[in-house]
């Protein structure tokens, strides 16, 4: 990108990713300069509206040969490095393909997908969850590479945090928390060695040209496939107050995914409980004093598999 083609990130996009934290604010301030540097480094031309996402900014671009691509910019931190490691290991197998990266600047050059068409657009839920199951099967087929967080360490840390979290909750929520702790203790010794996505909800599956659907925005770690199910179980209904049959949806999705992935259901339910515990601990850190309604719905739907 030459000086004759000035590039700016709209103020409203930058405002959409600024959290108010001083470190975050400084990163946002430097982001336009970083974008210009990577556009020049990889010989890219902006080719569409810049978008703000949950984790950063996405710039539609074209490469020197005219190939469409996307420049993703995230704050340089361990999670960004983990995403790069995971995408390299998958090499496009079920995921968006990583074309180039600069971990020091938080930049990833990705193949262009159809950002306006996610799996949320698929009306038939059985079809949607089977697409997720097919992606999981491919993602989990890759052994975990070095340099990623491990589920065993994460689980041990969560269990260590439970005693401090219990007093914040009422007696009913403490009972639920204690049951999750027992479930996790049953499987903690076998944390698994597969490469997990960690955030494969319907919105993180986009239509593509290379394949019908591909996963995006992984937060890779190494562990048991059962720990990867919760985002798909929770997708859609938890943000829609008009949904009245959420427990049935959760059970149906759980049945399909565990069958497709050949998972022991009690084992998978225990690792799903670990996700519910993780989310609850994060909520408590953010000042909440109760287990979320959606977490209770998922938990109750899978109650028959609890220890």
Q: At what angle do helices 151-165 and 171-187 cross, to 10 degrees?
A: 160
Query: Is 55 in contact with 74 (CB distance < 8 Å)?
Result: yes
Task: Judge whether 264 and 187 are in contact, CB under 8 Å.
Answer: no
65 catalytic residue (yes or no)? no
- Burial tier of 161 (Cβ tally within 10 Å: 0-12, 13-18, 19+): middle
Q: CB within 8 A of 193, min separation 6: which ones?
A: 143, 144, 222, 223
Beta bridge partners of 194: 143, 223
| Catalytic member of 37, 116, 125, 199 | 199
Residue 52: Cβ-neighbour burial (10 angstroms; 0-12, 13-18, 19+)? middle
SS3 of 222, please? strand
Q: Are strands 56-62 and 68-74 parallel, antiparallel or unpaired?
A: antiparallel
How far apart CA 13 and CA 232 sit, in angstroms, is: 28
Contact 207, 113 (CB under 8 A): yes
Cα 203 to the center of its chain, rounded Å: 10
CB atoms within 10 A of CB 162: 17
Angle, helix 171-187 to helix 293-301, in steps of 10 degrees: 50
Which stretches of the chain are assigned E, i.e. beta strand? 45-46, 51-52, 56-62, 68-74, 98-102, 107-111, 114-118, 194-196, 205-207, 213-215, 221-223
Annotated active-site positions, please? Answer: 199
């Amino acid at each position: 990108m030459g000086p004759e083609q000035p590039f700016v990130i709209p103020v409203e996009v930058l405002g959409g990713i600024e959290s108010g934290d001083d470190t975050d604010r400084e990163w946002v301030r430097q982001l336009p300069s970083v974008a210009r540097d990577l556009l020049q480094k990889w010989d890219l031309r902006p080719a569409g509206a810049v978008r703000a996402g949950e984790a950063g900014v996405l710039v539609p671009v074209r490469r020197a040969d005219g190939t469409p691509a996307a420049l993703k910019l995230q704050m340089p931190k361990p999670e960004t490095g983990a995403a790069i490691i995971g995408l390299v290991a998958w090499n496009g197998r079920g995921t968006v393909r990583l074309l180039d990266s600069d971990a020091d600047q938080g930049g990833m050059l990705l193949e262009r997908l159809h950002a306006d068409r996610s799996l949320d657009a698929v009306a038939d839920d059985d079809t949607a969850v089977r697409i997720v199951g097919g992606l999981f099967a491919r993602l989990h087929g890759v052994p975990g590479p070095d340099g990623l967080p491990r589920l065993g360490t994460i689980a041990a840390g969560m269990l260590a945090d439970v005693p401090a979290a219990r007093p914040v909750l009422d007696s009913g929520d403490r009972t639920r928390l204690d049951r999750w702790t027992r479930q996790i203790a049953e499987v903690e010794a076998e944390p698994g060695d597969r490469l997990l996505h960690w955030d494969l909800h319907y919105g993180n599956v986009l239509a593509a040209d290379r394949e019908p659907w591909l996963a995006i925005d992984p937060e890779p770690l190494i562990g048991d496939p059962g720990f990867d199910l919760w985002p798909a179980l929770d997708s859609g209904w938890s943000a829609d107050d008009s949904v009245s049959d959420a427990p049935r949806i959760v059970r149906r999705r759980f049945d399909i995914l565990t069958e497709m992935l050949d998972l022991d259901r009690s084992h998978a339910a225990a690792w799903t409980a670990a996700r519910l515990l993780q989310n609850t601990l994060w909520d408590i850190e953010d000042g909440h004093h109760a287990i979320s309604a959606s977490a209770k719905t998922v938990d109750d739907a899978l109650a028959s598999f609890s220890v």
